[in-house]
Amino acid sequence: LHGMTIVLTGAGGRLGLVLRPRLLARGFSLCSADIGALEPLGDRETVVTGDLRDSTVIDRALEGAGSVLHFAGTSVERPLPEIIGNNLVALHAVYEGARRHRVRRVVFASSNHAIGMYPAGQRLSLSDAYRPDGLYGLSKLWGEGMGRLYWDKYGIEGVALRIGSALPRPTERRHLSTWLGDDDLERLVLRSLAAPLTDYRPVWGVSANTRRWWDNAEAAELGYAPAQNAEDYAAEIEAEPDGGDPEAVRFQGGTFAASR
Ligand code: 15L
C-alpha cells in the first residue's frame, strides 16, 4: 500500500486539508487534486489542478494510482445543475478513471444527508432505506450506488464513508450525535485504505459519541476504533441555547432536512 500513490480529490476542501498532512506524515505518496491551485506540502506530494469532468485532468491525477479518496464535490444543498455537474458527472468520471487506470480501491465521502429525513434519535443501521433530505443528499445515493456498481461489475473495491458532521469540534446539539472528529476521520480513512476488503461497503463516518444514532459494526470490521466523543463538549454546548430553526432538531439531517 505504501508503494502506491493515493489520489485525494477535493484536496483543497476542509477535509482534504485535514487529510493531506496526516497522510504524508504516515508515509504515503499523495497526488492531491483540486479545482483550485495547491502548493505541494513536500516531496511525496504532487498536485493536479482542474475540473474532474475533464478526462485529461483525471488521467493526470490517476496515472499510477493505487487508491482514490474521492472527497471532491458540492458539500451543501445547491441548485440541481451544480449538484449534477459536481456530484454525479464528475463522480462518474472519477470511477471511470479508476477503471481505466486499474485502481484497486475507491473511498468515497458520502454523507448522512442520504438518510437525513429520519427522525433524530432513531437508531439506524446500514440496511435501513435511504431517506435523502435534499438534492445534495440524493446525490450521495448516486455516489454510493456508483461504488456498488463499480465493485459488482468491475471489481473495484469500495468504501463509502457516510459522514456525519466532520468538524474540528462539535458546536451544536445535533453534533453530540453526528460528530466525526478530525483524528477519527484520519483513523477511518486509514482503515478504509488499508483494511483487507473484497467488496463495496458503506460505513458510518462518526466518532464514538455517547449519543450517536448509527450502528457502525461495518466500520469496526475494517478495524476502525474511534477515540473521540462529542460528549466531552456536551456541558459546554448544552449551556448555550441551541440557536437556529427549531424544526431542524426533529431530523437527523438538521437544517438540511428542515429547509424547503
Ligand atoms: C454534510 O454533508 C455537509 O457537507 C457539511 O457541511 C455538514 O452540514 C454535515 O453534512 C452535517 O450534516 O453536519
CATH number at residue 163: 3.40.50.720
Say what the pLDDT of residue 138 is.
Answer: 98
Cα 178 to Cα 199: distance, rounded to the nearest angstrom:
26
**SS3 for 195?**
coil
The H or E element spanning position 32 is strand 29-34
| Predicted TM-score (pTM) of this structure | 0.97
**Complex ipTM, two decimals?**
0.98
For ligand 1, say whether the CB of 75 is within 6 Å of any of its atoms.
Answer: yes
How many structural domains comprise the chain?
1
pLDDT by residue for the chain (260 residues), tens only, comes to: 656 899 999 999 999 999 999 999 999 999 999 999 999 999 999 999 999 999 999 999 999 999 999 999 999 999 999 999 999 999 999 999 999 999 999 999 999 999 999 999 999 999 999 999 999 999 999 999 999 999 999 999 999 999 999 999 999 999 999 999 999 999 999 999 999 998 999 999 999 999 999 999 999 999 999 999 999 999 999 998 877 788 899 999 999 999 98
Contacts of 160 (CB under 8 A, 6+ apart): 107, 108, 110, 143, 144, 147, 200, 201, 202, 203
Say what the pLDDT of residue 134 is.
Answer: 98
Closest CA to 97 of 72, 122, 75: 72
CA of 134 to the centre of ligand 1 (A): 12
The alpha carbon of residue 23 and the mean position of all alpha carbons in its chain are separated, in whole angstroms, by: 15
Residue 59 identity (one-letter amino acid):
D
Cα 24 to Cα 185: distance, rounded to the nearest angstrom:
15
For ligand 1, say whether the CB of 111 is within 6 Å of any of its atoms.
Answer: yes
Active-site option among 136, 150, 200, 224: 136
Which of 75, 185, 213 is the pocket-test mutation for ligand 1 (most atoms within 8 Å of CB)? 75
Domain limits for position 67: 5-258
- Give the HSE-up count for residue 155: Cα atoms under 13 Å, Cβ half-sphere: 3
CB atoms within 10 A of CB 36: 9
What DSSP letter does each residue of 104-145 carry, written as one string?
Answer: SEEEEEEEGGGSTTSBTT--B-TTSPP---SHHHHHHHHHHH
CA of 258 to the centre of ligand 1 (A): 14
CA of 185 to the centre of ligand 1 (A): 14
